[in-house]
Amino acid sequence: MFRETAIRGAWLAEPKRYDDERGWLVETWREDWLDTPGLRPAAPAMSYVSITRPGVARGPHEHRDQTDYFAFLGPSTFKVFLWDNRPGSPTVGARLTFLLGAENPGLLLVPPGVVHAYKNIGTEDGLVLNYPNRLFAGRDKREPVDEIRHEDDPDSRFRLD
């Protein structure tokens, strides 16, 4: 189900959507996905859901230690950006973009050191789920946040189209 992208360690899956008269269902996390050869994320430490308004971007930012595991299911469409910023990575400097959401649901695993951002390019609010492998700000929110923000740097090389 998952396939490694052109950025080493970043994985993408197109989840199966099950539709019936009641609506639809998509599996966003299964423990047995960790058995995929080469896919080595830690299990989620928490989860959250966010709404992003049309035309709004989140990021670009990266994490030192955290792996993000996003689910883009709709109802809108997101342009998702990845940049490999890991010194020594065989794909350092690579940049990828995906269109994920209502028309093309996607599950995306982003390893530490890969800068990432997404922008709602649709016309309605978009829902994003994340299952990171670290607690935000640590246990009881008493630790520094594992985030390097690039979006406020006017000289950043991580630019959205």
Domain limits of the chain?
2-137
Measured torsion, CA atoms of residues 9, 14, 18, 21, in degrees rounded to the nearest 10 = 130
DSSP 8-state assignment for residue 139? G
Beta strand pairing call for 77-84 and 95-101: antiparallel
Please name the amino acid found at residue 92: V
On the question of pLDDT at 41 being above 70, the answer is no
CA-nearest of 15, 10, 131 to 69 is 131
On the question of pLDDT at 38 being above 80, the answer is no
On the question of pLDDT at 49 being above 80, the answer is yes
Q: Between 35 and 96, whose confidence is greater?
A: 96
CATH of domain 2-137: 2.60.120.10
Average pLDDT over residues 10-15: 94
Place of tokens 């993408």: 12
Mean pLDDT of the chain, nearest integer: 93
| Coil/strand/helix, residue 91 | coil
On the question of pLDDT at 82 being above 70, the answer is yes
pTM of the model: 0.92
Gap between the terminal Cα atoms of the chain: 29
Rounded CA-CA distance 142/22 in Å is 43
